[in-house]
Amino acid sequence: MDNAGRALSALQHLDAGCDREQWVRIGMSAKDAGVSLADFDAWSSPAPNYSGERDVAQVWKSFNGDGVKAATLFGMAIEAGWKDPAKSGARRINGSRPNAPITKAVKSSSAPATRAASTNVMEVWRLGVEANLADEYIYRKGGKPDGLRVYPAGAPPLIIGKGDDQITAAGALMVPCYAPDGETLLTIQIIPLVGKKMNLRGEQFGNGFFSVGDLPTAKTIYIVEGIGQAWAVTKARPEAAAVVCFGAGRMATVAKTLRDKYPDALLVVVPDRGKENQAAAIAADVSGQWVEMPDDKPSNYDANDYLKDAGIDALAAMLERPKAQPLRFNLLTDADLAERPMLQQRIKDVFPLVGTAAVFGASGSGKSFLIGDAVQSIAFGKSWFDYRVKPCNVIYCALEGEGGIAGRVKAYRIRHGASSDRIRYLLQPFSLLADADVVDLAHAIEAAGGAGVVVLDTLHASAPGADENSAADMGTIIAAAKKLQTLIGGLVILVHHVGKDSSRGLRGHSSLLAALDAAIEVRRDGDNREWCIVKCKDGEDGAAHPFRLDTVELGTDADGDPITSCVIRPVEAAAKEVRRIPPPKAGNQAIIWSALGELFRKAGDTRPEGAPAALPQGRPCLKLEDAIEQTRTRLVCDAKRQTERTQTAITGLINRGLIVTGEGFLWCP
């Protein structure tokens, strides 16, 4: 029997109804063995999945002899029970006996006479022939042969693997691993006809890879384990490139190499199912992103599997929406800011809904009475000094003079007819400097139903032992107050004192005022009192409101003497002139204050050109430079020092609150 007849005999022992992948493989080996197109079509036609003579002819035409060889046909036929009609001891095919599995390596005792191939990477690569679409692995994975080679059966035998896993590389697909320069060949991955992928002996991958697509111009580079995933990814995203790492263990090394080589590219790690955490860590390390296979898929399910199951559109959609580590800094555009909600306020134009604030003043100024009145209004949801209020629960920590809090609450109830059950009081010691106290107070507030406002009266009592003038200690106090504020999700108000020089405002280190979102100063001149907005986030500073403390009798003590407390009574500015701050009585400030008074009276209520929007309607106003020029000669000093000392005097008047400055103008508050 001639070779063609022998091949046809072997073909007839195989099942034409096998899957298409196996059918293509049989066709390539049959053509190489001498079977004609007509005989192959005749063998194929009885199968239920036969697609017609035209389909058979097109596939047959793609077989160019570089794929599966004749030995595979005879090997499969023998496994199917075919008896070779040739005489016993027939010639070996590709170094193997016809009745032995073609993929097993030949033992040294029966090795072919031909010399074994060198495992030098360049020699092996030169022996290969260009791959084509008919290659079994390329066909099965729906890939492309670009840049790949096949180790020919006629070349010197190339043994790969170790021990019982040794096989010959005849007909195997070869995938090159190049160094980052794209030219230096480091090693070769070998994909045999049967069995697992193996690597060329004695060579290392280093930081090499194989790319699919135009890597230098791609804006997005997908990092995958194997060539099959790279084909799938670039089929779904043809404008991108994919890089083959040759295993999950090398993805981190390759990702770093790519980031150095292509700093502007978007790197996207595409792991097999079950390796999402590894991919996320790699992506984070190179400022990249990653995708995840559906969570209902088995371990090692990959992009090529998803392409087959869900289709190219589904894979493209997945690749176009990679995951990314949340950025620490969120950079917003004007449009982003426009969509953000406006600042929410607890007492409109006085206290914000969320943040930290302070109410401060000298001892006896009435600051505790004032904040007590404010929180009652917050609890009731009624306006406070004509400012609108958003109601909420309140926690009042009476840490100093706690004995008087009950009297203040009772006085408020007597004067206003009721007090609110939305206010809770803390009379126990509490320290901002003890983290456990901050956390435990937050838990207690949560257990009580939460609160939108917490008052710490006073800051000094809530930070025992702290040096308020120390930047470090004040920083600790501020951080603790902000932590409490974060835990409750609302507003923390600190009641505090002024320093020895009341004109300098809050007692202690200047970092406190800078850290606050709002601040109110309470001032007293005899029986006349007022509170002034010193700081209001995104609001107008400087607004002052006079008030009085009215005495309320609460009852009598054991001796029959009256027990009293006080309540806040706003004073209408138009009905009662309050001497808000005593003017200076001597020195340069007194001289300049008197001179400015004359200028303000002459200025009248005409609004000067360029005056700031903060200037109240009808309020006399002067240009700062004009005021200095027209008053400096009043000072009795060297003419060269007059301007400097006038500026110093005006600054002192501003600090005392007697005049206000803004955008180069002066006016009275």
pLDDT tens digits, 95-146: 333 333 333 333 333 333 344 556 688 989 999 999 988 788 898 888 999 9
- Band of residue 474 on the pLDDT scale cut at 50, 70, 90: very high
The token duo for 555 is 């009852």
pLDDT at 404 over 60: yes
Q: What is the pLDDT of residue 117?
A: 56
For 103-107, 207-211, 648-652, which range has the lowest pLDDT when averaged over its residues? 103-107
On average, the pLDDT of the chain sits at 86
The residue-averaged pLDDT of 450-471 equals: 93
Higher-confidence residue of 527 and 623: namely 623
- Tell me, which fold does domain 587-667 have in CATH? Arc Repressor Mutant, subunit A (1.10.10)
pLDDT per residue as tens digits for the range 17-63: 888 888 888 988 889 888 889 888 888 887 878 888 888 888 888 88
CB neighbour class for 351 (10 Å; exposed up to 12, middle 13-18, buried from 19): buried
- Beta pairing class for 289-290 and 266-269: parallel
pLDDT per residue as tens digits for the range 415-427: 887 767 899 999 9
Higher-confidence residue of 195 and 639: namely 639
pLDDT per residue as tens digits for the range 54-95: 888 888 888 887 678 888 888 888 877 788 776 433 333 333
Q: How many CB atoms lie within 10 A of CB 23?
A: 21
What is the percentage of the chain residues whose pLDDT exceeds 90? 49
For 162-171, 218-227, 532-541, 570-579, which range has the lowest pLDDT when averaged over its residues? 570-579
Q: What is the pLDDT of residue 463?
A: 93
CA 81/CA 438 separation, integer angstroms: 83
Q: What is the pLDDT of residue 618?
A: 65
β-bridge mates for residue 497, sequence order: 361
pLDDT per residue as tens digits for the range 559-614: 888 899 999 999 874 344 444 567 888 899 999 999 998 998 888 767 788 888 77
> Cβ(179)–Cβ(207) under 8 Å?
yes
- Band of residue 288 on the pLDDT scale cut at 50, 70, 90: very high
CA 648/CA 600 separation, integer angstroms: 19
Q: What is the domain partition of the chain in residue ranges?
A: 1-102, 210-324, 345-570, 587-667
Range from 428-442, 514-528, 617-631 that averages highest in pLDDT: 428-442
Comparing 345-570 with 587-667, is the CATH topology the same? no
Answer yes or no: pTM beyond 0.95: no
The residue-averaged pLDDT of 359-376 equals: 93
Q: What is the pLDDT of residue 503?
A: 64
pLDDT at 309 over 90: yes
- Tell me, which fold does domain 210-324 have in CATH? Dna Topoisomerase Vi A Subunit; Chain: A, domain 2 (3.40.1360)
Q: What is the pLDDT of residue 118?
A: 61
The residue-averaged pLDDT of 154-167 equals: 78
Q: Helices (DSSP H) in 13-141: which residue ranges?
A: 20-33, 37-44, 53-62, 70-79, 121-127, 136-141
> Cβ(568)–Cβ(552) under 8 Å?
no
- Beta pairing class for 544-556 and 562-570: antiparallel
What is the percentage of the chain residues whose pLDDT exceeds 70? 90
Which CATH homologous superfamily contains domain 345-570?
P-loop containing nucleotide triphosphate hydrolases (3.40.50.300)
Q: Which residues contact 313 (CB under 8 A, 6 or more apart)?
A: none
CA 549/CA 564 separation, integer angstroms: 12
Q: What is the pLDDT of residue 86?
A: 63
pLDDT per residue as tens digits for the range 488-500: 999 999 999 987 7
Higher-confidence residue of 510 and 451: namely 451
Q: Which of 521, 570, 515, 516 is nearest to 542 (CA)?
A: 521
Q: What is the pLDDT of residue 516?
A: 93
Q: What is the pLDDT of residue 80?
A: 77
- Beta pairing class for 149-150 and 129-130: antiparallel
> Cβ(438)–Cβ(483) under 8 Å?
yes
